[in-house]
């Protein structure tokens, strides 16, 4: 099943006006006749109101989950067409909302509209469908939420967008590529997520929006941090720290974090570096965080950390220690 949410990949250029318009997915085979060569039957649908991905909201993630849940028994795989700007957030969110998957859910998009001469849309779409339909011994080869872009399939919750202009727009800094598309599809089976629990597929539609991200920077002030920790209605916060999880050791900062944790307010430590992991205690500037009981994001991306916190707050809150334990374990292959 092909699910259209919006984005550049679903646009074509009106050469009379020069503007971009959404093309009719009823005629997708006319637009991309190469799809007829794939050995699968393709059905399609769209969310109620297709959007630019900059307008993505948790409610739309719930709508996508509902579409997949309703068609789960009759489709062998799903491809979601999505704008690239927030694709990593959606891929991460769906990886938590769709538990115990035994089918592929592949997100893809493009940097250029589907009708442009040098478009990357056709290859991304064709190969994403081919991967979603890929089977071994009558069972789907990929059984997780993936993101396919520019000849590579990544684990969705390990990705981040790295370029607004290059065709290679995404990267997975802390986990290898799952499938590389060349003359043949090179599948690294040992890296694919395996649902060994034996539990049935379960769909969750709720996410908490009462979360935020605080990126540390030299010169950050007490008033600024207080405004976020004490004067907002947040229920949890991702803190992007320096290096391997380091922060300022200024007393007011440590005191504010300790006060928040003592009140059961979840604080998650993730690194603002493009690659690497949080390891609290390696340096003196993170020892206090470990003492306080700050949640370690380990090698998680900011996108996955944010959506994981949204998921846990909505579906498995518990007390601080419960949420800390749940966050620090892998739910869908998002941390090593």
The reply to whether domains 2-203 and 211-327 share a CATH topology is yes
Tell which CATH classification among 3.30.420.40, 3.40.50.1170, 1.10.3720.10, 3.40.920.10 matches the domain 2-203.
Answer: 3.40.50.1170
Which among 5, 8, 160, 271 is annotated as catalytic? Answer: 8
Task: Tell me which of 22-36, 218-232, 283-297, 302-316 is least confident.
Answer: 22-36
Q: What is the mean pLDDT of residues 322-327?
A: 97
Q: Which residue has the higher pLDDT, 22 or 312?
A: 312
Q: Are 266 and 236 in contact (CB under 8 A)?
A: yes
Strands 267-271 and 295-296, sheet pairing: parallel
Distance from C-alpha of 208 to C-alpha of 201, rounded to nearest angstrom:
22
| Per-residue pLDDT, 28 | 64
Is the pLDDT confidence value at 196 over 80? no
Measure CA 236 to chain center. 19
pLDDT band at 124 (very low <50, low <70, confident <90, very high): very high
Q: Are 225 and 253 in contact (CB under 8 A)?
A: yes
Average pLDDT score over the chain: 93
| Per-residue pLDDT, 22 | 66
| Per-residue pLDDT reduced to its tens digit, 131-146 | 999 999 999 999 999 9
| Per-residue pLDDT, 263 | 94
Residues 6+ apart with CB under 8 A from 219: none
* 8 annotated active-site: yes
**pTM, whole model, 2 decimals?**
0.94
| Per-residue pLDDT reduced to its tens digit, 61-87 | 999 999 999 999 999 999 999 999 999
Q: What is the mean pLDDT of residues 222-245?
A: 94
| Per-residue pLDDT, 315 | 97
| Per-residue pLDDT reduced to its tens digit, 273-307 | 999 999 998 888 899 999 999 999 999 999 999 99
Is the pLDDT confidence value at 20 over 80? no
Neighbouring-strand partners of residue 211:
236
| Per-residue pLDDT, 154 | 98
Q: What is the mean pLDDT of residues 198-222?
A: 96
Q: What is the mean pLDDT of residues 155-165?
A: 96
Q: Which residue has the higher pLDDT, 4 or 14?
A: 4
| Per-residue pLDDT, 10 | 72
**Level-2 CATH architecture, domain 211-327:** 3-Layer(aba) Sandwich (3.40)
Written as six digits, the tokens of 195 are 């649902």
| Per-residue pLDDT, 25 | 63
Q: What is the mean pLDDT of residues 45-59?
A: 93
Q: What is the mean pLDDT of residues 114-136?
A: 90
Written as six digits, the tokens of 83 are 């704008």
| Per-residue pLDDT, 23 | 63
| Per-residue pLDDT, 29 | 65
CA distances (Å), 336 to each of 150, 211, 296, 323, in order? 25, 23, 12, 18
Is the pLDDT confidence value at 27 over 70? no
Is the pLDDT confidence value at 238 over 70? yes
Distance from C-alpha of 315 to C-alpha of 97, rounded to nearest angstrom:
9
- pLDDT exceeding 90 applies to what percent of the chain? 79
Is the pLDDT confidence value at 18 over 80? no
> What residue segments make up the domains of the chain, in order of their start?
2-203, 211-327
Main-chain phi, psi angles of 111, to 5 degrees? -95, -20
């Amino acid at each position: 099943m092909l699910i259209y949410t919006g984005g550049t990949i679903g646009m074509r250029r009106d050469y009379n006006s020069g503007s971009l318009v959404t093309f009719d997915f009823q005629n997708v085979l006319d637009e991309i006749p190469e799809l007829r060569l794939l050995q699968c039957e393709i059905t399609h649908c769209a969310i109620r109101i297709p959007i630019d991905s900059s307008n993505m909201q948790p409610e739309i993630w719930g709508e996508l989950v509902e579409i997949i849940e309703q068609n789960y028994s009759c489709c062998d795989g799903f491809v979601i067409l999505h704008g690239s700007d927030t694709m990593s957030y959606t891929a991460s969110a769906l990886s938590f909302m769709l538990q115990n998957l035994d089918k592929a859910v592949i997100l893809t998009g493009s940097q250029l509209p589907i009708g442009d001469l040098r478009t990357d849309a056709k290859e991304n779409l064709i190969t994403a469908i081919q991967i979603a339909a890929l089977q071994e011994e009558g069972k789907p080869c990929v059984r997780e939420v993936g993101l396919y872009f520019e000849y590579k399939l990544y684990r969705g919750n390990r990705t981040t967008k790295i370029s607004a202009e290059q065709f290679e727009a995404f990267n997975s800094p802390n986990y290898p590529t799952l499938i590389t598309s060349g003359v043949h599809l090179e599948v690294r089976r040992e890296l694919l997520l395996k649902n060994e629990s034996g539990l049935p597929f379960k769909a969750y539609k709720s996410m908490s929006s009462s979360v935020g991200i605080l990126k540390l920077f030299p010169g950050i002030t007490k008033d600024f941090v207080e405004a976020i920790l004490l004067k907002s209605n947040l229920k949890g916060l991702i803190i992007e720290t320096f290096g391997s999880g380091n922060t300022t050791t200024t007393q007011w900062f440590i005191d504010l974090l300790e006060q928040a944790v003592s009140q059961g307010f979840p604080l998650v430590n993730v690194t603002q570096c493009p690659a690497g992991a949080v390891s609290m205690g390696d340096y003196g500037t993170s020892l206090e965080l470990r003492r306080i009981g700050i949640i370690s994001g380990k090698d998680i991306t900011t996108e996955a950390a944010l959506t994981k916190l949204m998921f846990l707050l909505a579906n498995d809150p518990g007390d601080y220690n419960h949420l800390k334990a749940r966050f620090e374990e892998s739910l869908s292959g998002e941390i090593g």
